[in-house]
Amino acid sequence: MGKPTGFMEISRQDRRYKLVADRLQHYQEFVVPLTEEEVSRQGARCMDCGIPYCHQGCPVNNIIPDWNDLVYQGNWREAIEVLHSTNNFPEFTGRICPAPCEAACTLNLTDEPVTIKTIECSIIDKAWEMGWVKPLIPQHRTGKKVAVVGSGPAGLACAQQLARVGHSVVVYEKADRIGGLLRYGIPDFKMEKHLIDRRIAQMQAEGVVFRPNSHIGRDVPVQKLLDNYDAVILAGGAEKPRDLNVPGRELNGVHFAMEFLPQQNRRVAGDTLSDDTSIWATGKHVIVIGGGDTGSDCIGTSARHGAASITQLEILPKPPEKEKKEVTWPNWPNKLRTSSSHEEGCERF
């Protein structure tokens, strides 16, 4: 524990967003990072709890107290070693993870959790900037061949781990670009796609081969994988949208989120879409059905298109503004969450 009294002396400080009027003009990220000194001070707030609930809250078991302390000590180089030991892509999670670690942090009992996600993002952004993130080429080859089907975060993490222990890995992806929902679900304004390209280059240097435009079971027979590989990993994600079987579902202008969002990511990537299939919210009164993150992404995208109005509908009763800590902590609480897209202008019911 770097500074035993840090949590009493230093207030929580987090990244802020650029102004709405500014960020609606483009599809780039709009988070303003903290300075290195500010992040270091935030690291000093960590109490290195005997039972680090943050660690338990993290789905990839990030060793959070250790890198909080390392950042406080100014030892960023070791911080990225520790962070990478549990997390292949902290630049993704540091931007788009909902941060259950912060909900679980002991300091969340008083609504001032350690800014874990911001610290994580700062560590990896600095590591890339300093050139510390290098391909890890395996010392020995096992001679084993593995096919990974699907290039979302699950497939990419599998492929990287397997390549680093010396297996020959080929990633098959049916889409034209690698990245799964990172590429074609999550909007650029939440995570810019050059971050994926940078990792792909690192993985290629580590020996991973990427085969986009390869639909297993359609372009490439399953039997071919079974014949040519020692193991096959299925990381195809969950693509089936939940339909709403109500009168009017068949009308024009009713779309699944995952018909709408990927189009905008393609436009940002420079693709030209045909007018017949393009979905635009420009000048329209948009209703988003579903109150979760995907709904939020539709709101942010519609706002950038220049929608006339945006309304979000949620079937569940409105959750409380503030959770009852004694009942929910250290678990993820059900409470009303206001995303950056909500702030950009929408009515919620």
Window contacting ligand SF4 (CB under 6 A); options: 105-113, 144-152, 256-264, 269-277: 105-113
Q: Which of 34, 58, 79, 116 is close enough to bind ligand SF4 by CB under 6 A? A: 116
Q: Which does 149 bind (CB under 5 to 8 A by kind): ligand FAD, ligand SF4, none?
A: ligand FAD
- Contact residues for 66 (Cβ-Cβ < 8 A; gap 6+): 82
Convert residues 63-102 into a mask of x (bound to ligand FAD by CB under 6 A) and - (unbound).
---------------------------------xxx----
Distances (CA, A) of 222 to 29, 149, 169, 176: 39, 10, 16, 19
**3 state DSSP class of 110:** helix
235 touches ligand FAD (CB under 6 A): yes
53 touches ligand SF4 (CB under 6 A): yes
Q: Which does 151 bind (CB under 5 to 8 A by kind): ligand SF4, ligand FAD, none?
A: ligand FAD
Q: Which does 217 bind (CB under 5 to 8 A by kind): ligand SF4, ligand FAD, none?
A: ligand FAD
- Contact residues for 112 (Cβ-Cβ < 8 A; gap 6+): 7, 11, 12, 45
Extract the runs of DSSP E, i.e. beta strands, from the chain.
16-17, 31-32, 145-149, 168-172, 209-211, 231-234, 285-289, 309-313, 347-348
- Return the number of the residue (104 or 261) whose C-beta is nearest ligand SF4: 104
153 touches ligand SF4 (CB under 6 A): no
162 touches ligand SF4 (CB under 6 A): no
188 touches ligand FAD (CB under 6 A): no
Q: Which of 39, 79, 82, 105 is close enough to bind ligand SF4 by CB under 6 A? A: 105
HEC per residue, 119-155: HHHHHHHHHHHHCCCCCCCCCCCCCCEEEEECCCHHH
14 touches ligand SF4 (CB under 6 A): no
Convert residues 55-74 into a mask of x (bound to ligand SF4 by CB under 6 A) and - (unbound).
---------xx--x------
Q: How far is the CB of 137 from ligand SF4 (least distance, A)?
A: 34
Spatial distance between the Cα atoms of 188 and 27, rounded to a whole number of angstroms:
6
Extract the runs of DSSP E, i.e. beta strands, from 21-156.
31-32, 145-149
- Are 113 and 107 in contact by the 8 Å Cβ rule? The answer is yes
Strand partners, 210: 171
Q: For residue 133, report the phi and psi dihedrals to the nearest 5 degrees.
A: -90, 105
User: Six-digit token pair at 310?
Assistant: 């945006």
Q: Which of 43, 52, 185, 207 is close enough to bind ligand FAD by CB under 6 A? A: 185
Q: How far is the CB of 50 from ligand SF4 (least distance, A)?
A: 9
Spatial distance between the Cα atoms of 220 and 210, rounded to a whole number of angstroms:
14
Q: How far is the CB of 53 from ligand SF4 (least distance, A)?
A: 5
Judged by CB under 6 A, the chain residues 276 through 305 that form the site for ligand FAD are 293-294, 297
**3 state DSSP class of 342:** helix
- Return the number of the residue (54 or 156) whose C-beta is nearest ligand SF4: 54
Binding positions for ligand SF4, rule: CB under 6 A: 46-49, 52-54, 64-65, 68, 105-107, 114, 116
